[in-house]
Amino acid sequence: MTNVNQTLRVGNIFGTPFGTTPESCHDMGLKPGFVIKARNNFFVVEAREPLTVDLFFTDTVTVTAGSSGTAGQVIAGTDDLQVYGPKSVAAILSPGATLTSGSYTSTILSTDFDSGYIKFDDLEPAFGHLYHLVPCLPFQPKFIDTGAGEFLISDTDTGGSYLLPSNGGIPNGFKTDAAHTPVGMVSAKCYVKHPVGAPYGVLDEAPEGDSGSAAVGSILGVNGFIDSSISVIGAPNWAHGLWIEHGENNLPAFRMVNDSEEYILDGRLRLQGYKYSIAELSQSQLSDLQSRGKVTFSIINPQGIPTSSSLSGPFRG
């Protein structure tokens, strides 16, 4: 589900990776006066401005608070959030208030979180405007127990076998002592359909992003995603930029999936790029420009590559 009113959200916990320089996207934007071609029509860019949008995804977790005389902290719970810092988790789940036992909906994404495809209607630009936005995800530091070689704290299975967090195990979280050390970064994965109904950046034989049949060696659901190793907040990967036109049929849909075996504390997707004001050129205006010399234009493809589920253009089955 999405946090529609966005009242319980963290905003920005970890920022960009330490020691890195945020990427400048100045050279990636179209400048006023540029001519572009889209859907066999020509447009001129009249103005542009930078645009950044945060889309928040939320999940519901259950906690038991204050049972050890530390009211406001996460003491225990079915989601084992204590390893991420009781005070920090309490600040996310119940900002400005004392945390009590119960279920909370916030930006903390469980280890089996799957939002399904969601369309954000507010992403539709006004007529005469065009968005070019890159999906970026926040990262989260990953720790392991170097002494035991484990990324799980303990065995929670009465049968004696170790369980992944999505099946009841306890993740390592942010514990730091002599035996624990950071080993890298993790994040959720984002799948995109752009426009709605047309899977983006996927294999032709595995277009839907769902779990496939192991009997036929299917790799549905493990391709076509974006994570923080591909496009991180502060350093957008423009190879994954989306052109969003006016009209609800041109909106993208996003699906956030957490398979990192860690609880993701900052469950959001950032879109970073430009907003353009464009005007369509008539044939006479284009002919006038051509008569003055060679017309140089950029070709953009807001519709995406046609697939068997997009119905966006002619294709062969």
Sequence-distant (6+) residues with CB within 8 A of 164 are 111, 152, 261
Please state, as a whole number, how many other Cβ atoms lie within 10 Å of the Cβ of residue 153. Answer: 19
**Would you say 269 and 145 are in contact if contact means Cβ atoms under 8 Å apart?**
no
Residue matched to tokens 């799957």 = 114
CA–CA gap between residue 68 and residue 75 (Å, rounded): 7
What is the Rg, in whole angstroms, of the alpha carbon atoms belonging to the chain?
Answer: 23
CB 128 within 8 A of CB 279: yes
| Residue stretches of the chain with pLDDT short of 70 | 1-8, 17-27, 66-79, 154-162, 176, 178, 209-215, 294, 304-317
Q: Provide φ and ψ at 289, rounded to 5°.
A: -65, -40
Count CB neighbours of 69 within 10 A: 7
The arrangement of strands across the sheet holding 242-244 comes to: 242-244, 129-136, 268-280, 41-56, 35-38, 297-299
Those residues whose C-beta lies under 8 Å from the C-beta of residue 147, and which sit 6 or more positions away, are 178, 179
**String of DSSP letters for the chain:** -B-SS--S----SS-SPTT--PPP-GGGSPPTT-EEEETTEEEEEEEEEEEEEEEEB-EEEEEEESTTS-TTSEEE-TT-GGGG-HHHHHHHHSTTS---SEEEEESPBPTT-B---EE-GGGPPPTTEEEEEEEEB--EEEEEETTTTBSBSS---TTS----GGGT--B-TT--STTEEEEEEE--EEEEESSTTSB-S--TT--S-S---GGGT--TTSSSEE-TTTSBTTB--GGG-EEE-SSGGG--EEEEE--SSS-BS--EEEEEEEEEEEEEPPHHHHHHHHHTSPPPEEE--TT-S--TTT--S----
Contact (CB, 8 A) for 101 and 66? yes
- Biggest CA pair distance of the chain: 81
User: Phi and psi at residue 15, in whole multiples of 5°?
Assistant: 70, -150
The pLDDT score that the predictor gives to residue 1 is 44
Is residue 273 within 8 Å of residue 236, measured between CB atoms?
yes
Q: What pLDDT sits at residue 254? A: 94
The CA distance from 136 to 237, in Å, is 8
Predicted local distance difference test score (pLDDT) of residue 309: 46
Residue 140 C-alpha from the chain's centroid: 13
- Note the pTM of the prediction, 2 decimals: 0.85
